[in-house]
């Protein structure tokens, strides 16, 4: 599992540029499903047959990043965000473009940290002219952040654990499931970080009976943190509410019963902000009952996110339990 997470987080695939991560997941799953398809927006859907009801599971492949907006005479790049990024976390960070070109983020002089906006930041490719910069990177080029994986034993630090750890959970669940009792549509979605876009069209096409997203959630277990109940190491988090979804009671109860029955450690999640693919899927067509299995994650949307592998394992077991539970219909 650790190796899979390491490999998934090493890949650069910001929203709308999911080809590299999709190719990796495709290869990982080719022997573990009945059908693998890519839809119009680029979602990867691994299908495994097992029953009458359609169960959609969704984990997003994309990650936050930046897009080049302009290049100046000295070859410095100006950029905009792709997904939610905080300018205060960017100074000195490295970015990696698709062709492997690397750069570091610098900042203009400011008197007060509150003045630090994205407009005050630039990317330095180590070049000395506009022409030299343009030979490497053009306007519209996207980059992801570059940071190495750290193995802390039962916890790991990496960039893009949001939501490569969700992808890892779904891949592992599909490899482990023995007797699926539903038709499984494991959807590795695109463009979640820019507005839950891939999940929306994938769900419209599938029209599932139930959908479960697998994503990370914030925690309240660090010094002077926001008051949140979620903790690293306390199990898979069953979402009750975030800003885009109120989990229907029967979906929450189903996941809770499956966790109880299988002795899977779990906790409940109430997140006053944020959302996942489930927020978009539930509003598809006439509505889809939707829930989320979350992996608690510290330092979300930074280059060093942290998860506990015991929570990851609990999430895999809970996803497998859902796959093996007949939904009827
Ligand atoms: Zn996410």
pLDDT tens digits along 56-77: 999 999 999 999 999 999 999 9
Q: What φ, ψ does residue 299 adopt, rounded to 5°? A: 60, 45
CA separation (Å) from 328 to 2, 208, 238, 288?
A: 35, 12, 22, 15
Residue tagged active-site, from 18, 28, 172, 192: 192
User: How confident is the model over 135-174, as pLDDT tens digits?
Assistant: 999 999 999 999 999 999 999 999 999 999 999 999 999 9
Residue scoring higher pLDDT (114 or 144): 144
Distance of CA 61 to the CA centre of its chain: 6
User: How confident is the model over 19-69, as pLDDT tens digits?
Assistant: 999 999 999 999 999 999 999 999 999 999 998 899 999 999 999 999 999
Distance CA 42, CA 64 (A): 17
CA of 313 to the centre of ligand 1 (A): 18
CA of 163 to the centre of ligand 1 (A): 5
Please enumerate in sequence order all residues whose Cβ is within 8 A of that of 264, keeping only pairs 6 or more positions apart, or say none.
235, 236, 258, 314, 317, 318, 321
CA of 97 to the centre of ligand 1 (A): 21
Is residue 328's pLDDT more than 80? Answer: no
What percent of the chain is modeled with pLDDT above 90? 96
Question: Checking DSSP bridges between strand 290-296 and strand 266-270, what pairing results, if any?
Answer: unpaired
The pLDDT of 4-24, averaged and rounded, is 97
> pLDDT at position 305, please?
97
Domain definitions of the chain by residue range:
2-63+159-323, 65-146
Instruction: Give the side-chain half-sphere CA count within 13 A for 86.
Output: 9
CA of 43 to the centre of ligand 1 (A): 15
Local structure of residue 117 (DSSP, 8 states): -
CA of 59 to the centre of ligand 1 (A): 8
The DSSP-derived string for 9-66 is: HHS--BTT--HHHHHHHHHHHTTSSSEEEE-TT--EEEEE--SSSEEEEEEE--B-EE
Which run of H or E residues covers position 197? helix 197-206
Please enumerate in sequence order all residues whose Cβ is within 8 A of that of 273, keeping only pairs 6 or more positions apart, or say none.
242, 243
User: How confident is the model over 239-270, as pLDDT tens digits?
Assistant: 999 999 999 999 999 999 999 999 999 999 99
Banded pLDDT at 113 (limits 50, 70, 90): confident
What percent of the chain is modeled with pLDDT above 70? 100
The pLDDT of 175-186, averaged and rounded, is 96
Distance CA 159, CA 11 (A): 10
Is residue 329's pLDDT more than 70? Answer: no
pTM for this model (two decimals) = 0.96
CA separation (Å) from 157 to 54, 144, 147?
A: 35, 16, 9
CA of 160 to the centre of ligand 1 (A): 9
Please enumerate in sequence order all residues whose Cβ is within 8 A of that of 129, keeping only pairs 6 or more positions apart, or say none.
73, 74, 75
Superfamily for the 2-63+159-323 domain: Zn peptidases (3.40.630.10)
Q: Which fold has domain 65-146?
A: Elongation Factor Tu (Ef-tu); domain 3 (2.40.30)
Let me know if 28 is a catalytic residue: no
Banded pLDDT at 112 (limits 50, 70, 90): confident
**Mean of the per-residue pLDDT values of the chain:** 96
The pLDDT of 8-26, averaged and rounded, is 97
CA of 289 to the centre of ligand 1 (A): 20
Distance CA 229, CA 124 (A): 40
């Amino acid at each position: 599992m650790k190796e899979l997470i390491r490999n998934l987080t090493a890949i650069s695939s910001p929203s709308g540029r999911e080809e590299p991560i999709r190719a990796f997941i495709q290869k990982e799953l080719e022997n573990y499903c009945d059908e693998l398809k890519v839809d119009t927006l680029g979602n990867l859907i691994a299908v495994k047959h097992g029953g009458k009801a359609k169960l959609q599971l969704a984990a997003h492949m994309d990650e936050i990043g930046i897009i080049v907006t302009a290049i100046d005479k000295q070859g410095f790049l100006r950029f905009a965000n792709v997904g939610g990024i905080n300018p205060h976390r960017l100074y000195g960070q490295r970015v990696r473009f698709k062709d492997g070109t690397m750069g570091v983020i610098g900042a203009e002089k400011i008197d007060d940290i509150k003045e630090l906006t994205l407009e005050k930041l630039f990317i330095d490719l180590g070049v000395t002219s506009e022409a030299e910069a343009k030979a490497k990177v053009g306007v519209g080029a996207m980059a992801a952040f570059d940071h190495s994986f750290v193995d802390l034993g039962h916890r790991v630090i990496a960039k893009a654990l949001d939501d490569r750890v969700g992808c890892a959970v779904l891949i592992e669940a599909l490899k482990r499931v023995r007797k699926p009792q539903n038709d499984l549509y494991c959807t590795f979605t695109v463009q979640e970080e820019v507005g839950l876009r891939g999940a929306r069209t994938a769900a419209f096409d599938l029209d599932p009976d139930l959908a479960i997203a697998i994503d990370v959630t914030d925690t309240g277990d660090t010094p002077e943190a926001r008051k949140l109940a979620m903790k690293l190491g306390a199990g898979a988090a069953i979402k009750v509410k975030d800003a885009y979804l109120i989990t229907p009671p029967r979906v929450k109860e189903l996941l809770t019963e499956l966790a109880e029955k299988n002795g899977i450690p779990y906790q409940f999640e109430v997140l006053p902000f944020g959302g996942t693919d489930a927020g978009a899927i539930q509003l598809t067509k006439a509505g889809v009952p939707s829930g989320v299995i979350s992996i608690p994650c510290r330092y979300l949307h930074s280059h060093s996110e942290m998860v506990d592998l015991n929570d990851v394992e609990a999430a895999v077991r809970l996803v497998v339990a859902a796959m093996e539970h007949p939904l009827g219909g």
